[in-house]
């Protein structure tokens, strides 16, 4: 009996990893592998089309490229103009399935940080690695979406799937007002049960990670004022401490009293004098003054990143408390400007990662642990996190995002497309 048992176990261990997949899932994996050259060609085509956020015509052209990929798969594709926000617009594609499985929202973006005046403009391949503007952020992610959906169609699993794809045209520099710029994405999130975001895969030392949380991104401006006069009178009852000392007090108190896990608050630009001012975009501070004149105005601008809404509200309140504790004869005002809300780690998000790890097991791939949210930036998935379970970072592996030399590991297109196709196929079978 033992010999029979050992023989059975040996046979099971010797079976190929693909045997853990259903026949349809095996076909999806094979389709992804077979179409790798096609997928790389699509990636090259999109990368070579500049789509810096402010290049509205370029963003629209990449949208047309994605329309040409999605419509043949049975998606109803529409372009939503966003000129009222100063941006090109968004591409929204809808696929109607049987209405019984999980509703899925796929999120990516058409724009990049590289405008037409950037010297970094072309796709270049070196073996299994390629460089190019936006190649991973997020044109590689869009290629993974296309490859996964094509694999599902080839295997016959796309027909029953209810999917909406939202590709924003201003993820890198969000248009304003924000409620208009993200209106359609938020609406799609309310429809969806699950949101899958195809920004860069988190990968370190050969280990892939699952992103179940992202921190917020909020900017702030701090302005202080004081009495100006001859420097010989500083610290006196009549003249007080001046604007620069008040600004320094506030920022140093932030540094000493606010630190806690998953919280950062950077100061990006600062200036003070008599006078001092900041431009309308909040990017440049101008100031002048003399060593013997007490500064009348000081300005600092920075960002705030938090993991949860509770943390965000609590830290903002504490910052305002610190601002109100004025030095003599000074005043200060702190304003917050919302951008990306936090994508909190939830049980629902972890459940989607668990489903992906079941896919990894059946593909013979290592399990993907949760990625440290302090290492990730903000993304559009945060706007739907209150309404749907979210798994982020399903795009390509690579590095150097937002910098010349941005690159991707081309083999990750295969790995990520298989994962996405099988995960979506299984979610489409789960009852709502």
Residues 186, 381: Cα–Cα separation, whole Å: 9
Q: What is the pLDDT of residue 15?
A: 45
What is the arithmetic mean of pLDDT over 351-377? 97
CATH topology of domain 217-340: Alpha-Beta Plaits (3.30.70)
End-to-end CA distance of the chain: 45
User: What CATH number does the domain located at 13-214+343-429 have?
Assistant: 3.40.630.10
Q: Is residue 143 very low, low, confident or very high in pLDDT (cuts 50, 70, 90)?
A: very high
Percent of the chain at pLDDT above 70?
96
pLDDT (tens digit per residue) in 325-349 = 999 999 999 999 999 999 999 999 9
List strand residue ranges (DSSP E) for 285-347, in order.
Answer: 285-287, 297-305, 330-340
Contacts of 413 (CB under 8 A, 6+ apart): 36, 39, 40, 43, 140, 143, 144, 147, 396
Q: What is the pLDDT of residue 18?
A: 54
Q: Is residue 282 very low, low, confident or very high in pLDDT (cuts 50, 70, 90)?
A: confident
pLDDT (tens digit per residue) in 221-267 = 999 999 999 999 999 999 999 999 999 999 999 999 999 999 999 99
Give the DSSP letter string of 76-96. Answer: EEEEEE-GGGTS-EEEEEEE-
Task: Classify residue 32 by burial, with Cβ atoms within 10 Å: 0-12, 13-18, 19+.
Answer: buried
For residue 160, the tally of other CB atoms under 10 A from its CB is 17
pLDDT (tens digit per residue) in 184-225 = 999 999 999 999 999 999 999 999 999 999 999 999 999 999
Average pLDDT over the chain reads 95
Q: Is residue 19 very low, low, confident or very high in pLDDT (cuts 50, 70, 90)?
A: low
In the chain, where are the structural domains located?
13-214+343-429, 217-340
Q: Is residue 20 very low, low, confident or very high in pLDDT (cuts 50, 70, 90)?
A: confident
Q: What is the pLDDT of residue 283?
A: 86
Q: Is residue 408 very low, low, confident or very high in pLDDT (cuts 50, 70, 90)?
A: very high
Q: How far is CA 424 from the centre of its chain?
A: 20
Nearest in space to 133 (alpha carbons), one of 147, 118, 146: 118
Half-sphere exposure of 409 (CA within 13 A, CB side): 17
pLDDT (tens digit per residue) in 413-427 = 999 999 999 999 999
Residues 367, 357: Cα–Cα separation, whole Å: 5
Residue whose pair of structure tokens reads 């996405």 in the numeric block = 420
The whole-model pTM stands at 0.91
């Amino acid at each position: 009996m033992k010999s029979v048992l050992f023989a059975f176990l040996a046979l099971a261990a010797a079976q190929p990893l693909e045997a853990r997949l259903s026949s349809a899932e095996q076909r999806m994996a094979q389709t992804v592998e077979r179409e790798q050259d096609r997928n790389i060609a699509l990636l090259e085509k999109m990368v070579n089309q500049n789509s810096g956020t402010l290049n509205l015509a370029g963003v629209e052209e990449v949208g047309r490229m994605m329309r040409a990929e999605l419509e043949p798969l049975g998606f109803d594709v529409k372009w939503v103009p966003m000129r009222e926000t100063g941006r090109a617009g968004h591409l929204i594609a809808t696929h109607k399935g049987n209405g019984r499985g999980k509703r899925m929202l796929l999120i990516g973006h058409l724009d990049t940080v590289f405008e037409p005046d950037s010297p970094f403009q072309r796709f270049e391949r070196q073996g299994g690695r390629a460089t190019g503007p936006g190649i991973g952020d997020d044109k590689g992610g869009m290629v993974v979406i296309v490859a996964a959906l094509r694999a599902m169609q080839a295997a016959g699993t796309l027909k029953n799937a209810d999917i909406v794809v939202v590709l924003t045209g201003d993820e890198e520099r969000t248009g304003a007002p924000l409620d208009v710029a993200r209106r359609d994405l938020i609406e799609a999130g309310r429809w969806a049960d699950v949101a899958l975001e195809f920004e860069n895969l988190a990968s370190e030392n050969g280990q892939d990670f699952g992103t179940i949380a992202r921190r917020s991104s909020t900017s702030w401006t701090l302005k202080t004022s004081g009495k100006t006069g001859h420097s010989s009178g500083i610290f006196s009852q009549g003249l007080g401490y001046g604007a620069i000392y008040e600004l320094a007090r506030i920022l140093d108190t932030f540094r000493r009293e606010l630190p806690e896990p998953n919280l950062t608050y950077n100061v990006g630009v600062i200036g003070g004098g008599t006078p001092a001012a900041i431009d309308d975009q909040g990017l440049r501070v101008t100031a002048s003054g003399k060593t013997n004149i007490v500064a009348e105005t000081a300005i600092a601008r920075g960002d705030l990143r938090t993991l949860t809404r509770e943390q965000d509200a609590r830290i903002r309140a504490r910052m305002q408390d610190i601002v109100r504790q004025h030095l003599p004869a000074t005043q200060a005002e702190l304003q917050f400007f919302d951008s990306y809300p936090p994508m909190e780690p939830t049980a629902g998000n972890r459940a989607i990662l668990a489903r992906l790890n079941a896919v990894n097991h059946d593909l013979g791939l290592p399990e993907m642990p949760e990625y440290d949210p302090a290492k990730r930036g903000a993304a559009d998935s945060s706007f739907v996190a209150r309404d749907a379970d979210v798994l982020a970072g399903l795009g390509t592996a690579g590095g150097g995002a937002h910098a010349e030399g941005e690159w991707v590991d081309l083999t990750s297109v295969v790995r990520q497309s298989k994962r996405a196709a099988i995960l979506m196929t299984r979610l489409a079978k789960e009852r709502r």
